[in-house]
Structure formats: structure tokens, C-alpha cells
Structure 1
């Protein structure tokens, strides 16, 4: 879906480039964007140990709104902070696959990147960035199917620090407003602890999501 949206944005730029006004960003400018993003984990999870060495988990995708702010340190260098939170179902794998959804959680992953803008004075402005992510998890809940199988269980997920890389493009609509398409890869690693009456089971999960989005922005 994201690929199709990106192709559509590029097609619009080719068809309308002659009629667009330039909304190039300059040092000291702010860009504010609102996007719809897909948070798509490419997770690698270990075993749920010690009780379920043949069981593991996977984390489902989520589509949510996102808000980000970019401040231009120079005409070409910008600092972007993204703000969003996403709900994720956690499903059982291997020996736990019969349980279906075993838990759910909310993820809050504020990410700060330093961007390089390749064509700051143009109508079509690609950029690339690298930065840091901090992810915290909240509202973790065990599913009824899990608790029916092993008893009342509380779940907690460790916070994560990691790197983030991104690429994107802005396309002018007029001197103030522009379209945006963006994709990020974020390094997110966590350990989930399941506490069942004092018995602790743990599973390590490398979430490492691709975060792809499309939206609209405004220059200030």
C-alpha cells in the first residue's frame, strides 16, 4: 500500500510541477506534518522460558495517526521529532499458537532524527535521516485465552533505546502546504515478562519495525 501511495505522489509531482509554487524551507523554519502511519514489526522472538521452550510470540501491525515537527538548523539540515502511539496484539507461536492472541500492549516510540534535505529550494524535496528512538510500553494486558490456559497473569515489557534511519519526500501544494511520504526503520528490542502467581516466564523480542506513512504538512 505504501509503495502505491509513494508512486501516486511522484506521479502528481510530474504532472503538476510547472504550476506549483515553491515552499522551500530555510534555516529557522518549522515544518509540522500530520501522517497516517503503518507500524509493521519485522520481529524476531525467542522462546517463552522456562515453562514454554517450544512456544514463542509475534507482534501484529498497527495503523495510527502521527504528528511530527521538523526544525531547520540550516537550509539543508533539519531535526525531526515524531510523536505517535500504537496498539499491538501479541499472538502465540509454536506451542502457544492454539491460544491465538496472548496479550496486547500500547507502544510509545518518540524518535528524533537529523535529516539532510537534498533539494531545499525545489518543489520536490527528498531527504534522509538518522537518529535515536526511545520506546516505552504501557497498558499491557494478558488475554483471556492465555489466562484460561495458565491462570491470572500480569505482563510487563522493558523500555528500549535504539537507532532509527529514514527516507522521505515533501511535495509542494502551494507556498505553505505540502504532501509528505516517509519511511523509517527503527531498532526496538524488549523483554516481556509474564508473572503468573509469582512464576516468571520471559521472552526476548526484537521488534525492529518499518514505519511507513503518508500525510500533509505546513511550513511555519
Structure 2
């Protein structure tokens, strides 16, 4: 909860700074017509479901990781975005009030987005829908059993806002919801599905050109 609060404060700070900075540069340049954008940021992910594995209800902790995205704008409002975490999210697996193991995840996604308002508007909300895959690795489980989690695959929905600092630079805040049911195996035998359906909240700084 503290980490999510820090991201919210960062977004508010960017919103306060953006109008003045954009006003200074808007007369000499324009964001309209720029077709490429890259964003570097940081995101927190938190599973929204607790899967039951081999008859045991489990709970996975969330984590944070740096993220990267690259977008191609077909026009000022429609974009195709490739997004992913630049490092792995580490998840502690809990059951019965204590830790029983751990697993890492690293999602990547491709989505179409619609950005509202004009390219030079200071505040530009956007929504998106696409497909993601999350690679799970470094699975470990106490008790000596071998844990395996297949890659998660499914739909991803995105909502966010870009805050123009000037016609080139902008701040971004977004929320992503991913849905999938990867198989979970113990010693090579399927024992359940890890339907985590995580929500990822991120902030970042981007540039368009």
C-alpha cells in the first residue's frame, strides 16, 4: 500500500509541473504528427486472485520492477504499443500464514490504444486492449517438491493518462489488468492453475519523436 501511495504522489507532482512547462514550449513546437514514443518507468504488480493448488489456498505477494514501452502512432490518437517489464517481478508464495515458496514473473504485451484529445493537450487520457504473455521462472517450494508454472497468456486491458511537459517530453501513469490461467505442476504433474489476474500500476517518463 505504501508503494502505491508513492506512485500516486509522483503522478500528482508531474501533473502540477506539466502545465507551466508545456506553455513555455508550445509556441515553438508541436506534438502533433510525431509517430514514435518511448517510455521508461517503474511499476508495481499485485495479483487479484489467490489460486488453490493441490487443495491448498495460496497467496502471492506483489512486487515492483522497471518497465519499458515503445509505441507507433498511426495518427495523433491511435497507437500500437509494445510494453514489458525490464526486470522480473519477485513473488513470495504464502499458505497457512507463512511462506512456502517463491516465483518470478516477467510480462510482455502488445496492444492497441486510443488517446483522447489533441496531441498538444496537456492532459491526454488513453485506453487500450491487447494480448500479453508472462514468463514464470525461478520457481521454488519448501518441502523438496519441484514447482513449475507455465507461461501465462491472455488479454490485457490498459487505462492511463499522459501529462505533456513539452511537445517532446511527457509523464505517464497507467493501470494494466492481465487475465490468464497458467498450469501449475508439482514434480511434473498438474495440480492446479495459477489464475492470478494481476493489476499493474506504473508511472514513467516518455519522449515522442
Coarse TM-score class (shorter-chain normalised): 0.7 to 0.9
Q: Give aligned pairs, total.
A: 200
TM-score scaled by structure 2? 0.84
Contact 1:89 1:101 in 2 (8 A): no
Distance 1:20 1:210, change over 3 A: farther
Unaligned runs of 5+ in 1: none
1:167 is aligned to: 159
TM-score scaled by structure 1? 0.81
1:12 is aligned to: 17
Q: Does 1:114 align with 2:106?
A: no
Instruction: Please say which of residues 82-91 and 13-22 is displaced more in the overlay.
Output: 13-22
Unaligned runs of 5+ in 2: none
Q: CA deviation at 1:14?
A: 5.0
Supply the distance in 2 between the matched residues of 1:164 and 1:134 (Cα, whole angstroms).
9
Supply the distance in 2 between the matched residues of 1:65 and 1:204 (Cα, whole angstroms).
27
Contact 1:23 1:123 in 2 (8 A): no
Contact 2:33 2:75 in 1 (8 A): yes
1:66 is aligned to: 67
CA RMSD of aligned residues (A): 2.2
Q: CA deviation at 1:215?
A: 1.1
Supply the distance in 1 between the matched residues of 2:164 and 2:99 (Cα, whole angstroms).
43
Equivalent in 195, 203, 209 of residue 214 of structure 1: 203
